[in-house]
């Protein structure tokens, strides 16, 4: 296994600077963020242009968007950019592109399953023809749904076999499973054959706040679609995930891919320096477990 991180946490930084710091810190891989670079969305990183000169391994090209967006024009733009990410990954010799399945939020889950089966196979075929596989993070993406319900059809282990039947595999992130009430160690052990990439993110749960808001989170005066009121993401080691047991399952199952820190910790955010400090904290938790 190789320890790395997703470069999306440093959207204003050039990739060569990120890579130089990462190599000096002892990281071995980067999951390279590849959003289109919309100036109206400065929080989205586009580091793909500099990826060809990296000395570190590119573990995956990362473009996490809604492949089933209800707006057909927007869906088309997303699919076009995803194909560009596939082309870039193939040129880099990187076999993985990370994304979401997503959801048309105007339709039921059952209708979305049929929609995915209809519209996604051409994307899988495009990637397969170029030696690339899609890996999907199992994030609910509840902020995409007007009522805060799951908006990425990869949030539940029940859907992972269905997803793999379409040609999409797992970028396994244990943090989401914890707040959904699922044991991530059990879920990983039962689905390790579907895992081609791992994202390392932790989650901090406040049971008292959950007693007030319930599992679906805060509803009144909600400050952001992405704030639940009772849980928040943390860097590995500062939350509920049992990394010792989780990485042991990876070792036991023969997993030899990347473990990529996805830094979304609000405590260790705000400036590039503070983000890097958070990455170092995560590295201190994970590096002793990864050999």
- In this structure, the dihedral spanned by the alpha carbons of residues 183, 186, 187 and 188, taken in order and rounded to 10 degrees, is 120
Q: Which of 134, 65, 68, 52 shows the shortest CA–CA distance to 95?
A: 134
- What is the C-alpha to C-alpha distance for residues 39 and 61, in angstroms, rounded to an integer? 20
**Confidence at residue 43, expressed as pLDDT on a 0 to 100 scale:** 82
- What is the C-alpha to C-alpha distance for residues 120 and 79, in angstroms, rounded to an integer? 9
**pLDDT value at 52 more than 80:** no
pTM of the model: 0.96
> To the nearest whole percent, how much of the chain has pLDDT over 90?
93
Q: How many domains does the chain have?
A: 1
DSSP code of residue 7: G
Where do the H-state alpha helices sit in 6-63?
A: 15-25
pLDDT digits (tens, 9 = 90+) for 55-104: 899 999 999 999 999 999 999 999 999 999 999 999 999 999 999 999 99
Average pLDDT for 182-205: 98
**CATH assignment of the domain containing 252:** 3.20.20.150
Count of C-beta atoms within a 10 Å radius of residue 166 = 18
> To the nearest whole percent, how much of the chain has pLDDT over 70?
100
**Confidence at residue 90, expressed as pLDDT on a 0 to 100 scale:** 97
Extended beta strands in the chain, E state: 2-6, 29-33, 57-62, 96-99, 133-137, 168-172, 195-200, 202-205, 231-234, 258-261
Higher-pLDDT residue of 52, 213: 213
Do β-strands 231-234 and 202-205 pair in parallel, antiparallel, or remain unpaired?
A: antiparallel
Phi, psi values for residue 2, rounded to 5°: -125, 135
At 38, the pLDDT band (50, 70, 90 cuts) reads: confident
Domain of residue 260, residue span? 2-289
Average pLDDT for 134-161: 96
Residues contacting 254, CB < 8 A, separation 6+: none
**pLDDT value at 50 more than 80:** no
Helices 243-252, 272-286: inter-axial angle, 10-degree rounding: 60
């Amino acid at each position: 296994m190789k320890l790395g991180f997703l470069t999306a946490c440093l959207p204003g930084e050039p990739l060569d600077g990120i890579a130089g710091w990462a190599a000096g810190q002892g990281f071995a891989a980067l999951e390279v963020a590849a959003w289109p670079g919309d100036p109206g969305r400065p929080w989205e990183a586009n580091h793909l242009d500099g990826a060809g000169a990296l000395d570190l391994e590119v573990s995956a090209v990362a473009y996490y968007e809604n492949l089933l967006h209800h707006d057909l024009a927007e869906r088309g733009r997303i699919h076009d950019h995803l194909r560009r990410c596939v082309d870039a990954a193939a040129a880099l010799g990187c076999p993985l592109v990370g994304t979401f399945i997503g959801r048309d939020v105007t339709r039921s889950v059952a209708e979305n399953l049929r929609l995915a089966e209809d519209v996604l196979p051409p994307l899988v075929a495009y990637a397969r023809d170029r030696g690339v596989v899609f890996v999907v993070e199992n994030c609910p993406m509840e902020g995409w749904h007007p009522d805060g319900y799951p908006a990425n059809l990869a949030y539940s282990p029940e859907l992972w076999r269905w997803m793999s039947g379409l040609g999409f595999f797992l970028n396994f992130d244990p943090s989401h499973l914890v707040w959904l009430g699922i044991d991530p160690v059990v879920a990983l052990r039962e689905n390790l054959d579907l895992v081609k990439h791992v994202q390392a993110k932790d989650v901090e749960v406040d049971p008292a706040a959950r007693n007030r808001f319930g599992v679906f989170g805060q509803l009144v005066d909600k400050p952001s679609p992405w704030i639940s009121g009772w849980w928040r993401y943390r860097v590995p080691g500062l939350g509920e995930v049992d990394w010792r047991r989780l990485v042991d399952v990876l070792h036991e199952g023969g997993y030899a891919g990347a473990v990529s820190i996805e830094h979304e910790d609000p405590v260790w955010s705000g400036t590039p320096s503070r983000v890097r400090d958070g990455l170092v904290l995560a590295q201190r938790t994970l590096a002793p477990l990864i050999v």
